[in-house]
Homo-oligomer: A and B are copies of this chain.
């Protein structure tokens, strides 16, 4: 999990941000941001119990949630009743809201300017915060502030991402062993998922593009065919952090065309040090990738079939992305996926090869060292 030290560092950084923006307190509601600052990862899906992390620029912090387990880095935790006998209560947000009113009133909380997650704040909770404060504060959108903070990874975040990548690579080992003409795409996915759990030492989310002979899409109830290329764009989340990688495998012996496309796209990763440097513009990388791909005669028309990559962390896609028309300046501590991909029917259906790189002072570190070989190792 994220460490106490990491959370403390981030809270200090947050306090500085709030002070300089003249914000009295912040109310965070998304489980991922609550995790980022307190170290407690609350479930995002069933039963998706709501929570709020209240953090004052010049004072106390508390977490209101369905549980106080996990030792959150806050001054105090308060809880609401989330179930009876194991049956999840129907109106959890209503209960949370009432708890928040009590909390704000008990502390006699004053806050004129309150930072909030504009994208995620519920109307119900906002109404309760206003009631607890005795009137509507000036609500200040902090989404961009949080996004900016999260672009640069701390050491405890990187440790989790490194582990997520290793789990993803173990899934590739299993997928390669499963790939053979006549095998169902769902079997390949299932084999990779099982391997991912074992590599993680706990159950993890693993999914991604598992359609054979297609450029993307989820696994289907369909047998893979000799002569197809199998693009597996595989995702893991491990303790809140994402890995997103892609490899392409031939089902049986590849054709000359398939192999030459593979080798061409693979070689882009050899020159990535030219682009993944602090201070460089991610858009330039996307443009260079497209131009490079078109140097292959068979790909001159197709070019780069999508974005060239994206930053990643608590969410699969963060900014800056690696698009010709949108991006930004790379900074030390960004983790960037780079994914040259190009698709033509003659190649049944194309190749995509994605690594994740950490931007350092001296250039990119490849977090996903793993062979680029078109033929499956069995």
1/0 contact string of A24-58 vs chain B (CB within 8 Å): 00000000000000000000111100000000000
What chain B residues lie within 8 Å of A190 (beta carbons)? 190, 193-195, 197-198
Q: Which of A255-263, A265-273, A313-321 lies at the interface?
A: A313-321
Does residue A306 face the partner (Cβ distance < 8 Å to B)? Answer: yes
Supposing A45-B45, A121-B124, A219-B197 touch, asked if A88 and B189 sit within 8 A by C-beta, the answer is: no
Min Cβ gap A140→B in Å is 13
Does residue A297 face the partner (Cβ distance < 8 Å to B)? Answer: no
What chain B residues lie within 8 Å of A86 (beta carbons)? 306-307
1/0 contact string of A159-201 vs chain B (CB within 8 Å): 0000000000000000000000000101101110111011011
Does residue A12 face the partner (Cβ distance < 8 Å to B)? Answer: no
Residues 199-215 of A at the B interface (beta carbon under 8 Å): 200-203, 207, 210
Supposing A45-B45, A122-B120, A123-B123 touch, asked if A201 and B221 sit within 8 A by C-beta, the answer is: yes
What chain B residues lie within 8 Å of A318 (beta carbons)? 90
Min Cβ gap A359→B in Å is 17
Closest to A50 in B: B119
Are A121 and B123 in contact, CB atoms less than 8 angstroms apart? yes
Q: Which of A1-9, A69-77, A91-99, A369-377 lies at the interface?
A: A91-99
Min Cβ gap A117→B in Å is 9
Does residue A106 face the partner (Cβ distance < 8 Å to B)? Answer: no
Q: Which of B90, B121, B197 contacts A122 (CB 8 A)?
A: B121
Min Cβ gap A27→B in Å is 11
Min Cβ gap A1→B in Å is 15
What chain B residues lie within 8 Å of A194 (beta carbons)? 186-187, 189-191, 193-194
Does residue A220 face the partner (Cβ distance < 8 Å to B)? Answer: yes
Bound complex: CA of A317 vs CA of B308, how far in Å?
42
Does residue A323 face the partner (Cβ distance < 8 Å to B)? Answer: yes
What chain B residues lie within 8 Å of A323 (beta carbons)? 84-85, 87
What chain B residues lie within 8 Å of A203 (beta carbons)? 186, 189, 207, 210, 218-219
Closest to A341 in B: B86
Are B47 and A44 in contact, CB atoms less than 8 angstroms apart? no
Bound complex: CA of A46 vs CA of B219, how far in Å?
16
Bound complex: CA of A312 vs CA of B143, how far in Å?
36
Are A186 and B193 in contact, CB atoms less than 8 angstroms apart? no
Closest to A322 in B: B87
Bound complex: CA of A73 vs CA of B160, how far in Å?
43
Does residue A310 face the partner (Cβ distance < 8 Å to B)? Answer: yes
Bound complex: CA of A194 vs CA of B221, how far in Å?
12
Are B90 and A118 in contact, CB atoms less than 8 angstroms apart? no
Chosen A-B contacts, 7 in total, with CB atoms closer than 8 Å, are: A87-B307, A93-B120, A94-B118, A116-B123, A186-B197, A186-B202, A186-B203
**Interface pairs A-B: 5 shortest CB-CB:** A190-B194, A85-B307, A87-B321, A201-B221, A186-B197
Which residues of A pack against B, CB within 8 Å? 44-47, 84-88, 90-94, 116, 118-126, 139, 143, 147, 184, 186-187, 189-191, 193-195, 197-198, 200-203, 207, 210, 218-221, 235, 306-308, 310, 315-319, 321, 323, 325-326
Since A119-B124, A120-B122, A194-B194 are in contact, a sample of 6 more A-B pairs with Cβ atoms closer than 8 Å, ordered by chain A residue number, is A87-B326, A88-B317, A91-B143, A186-B197, A191-B194, A193-B193
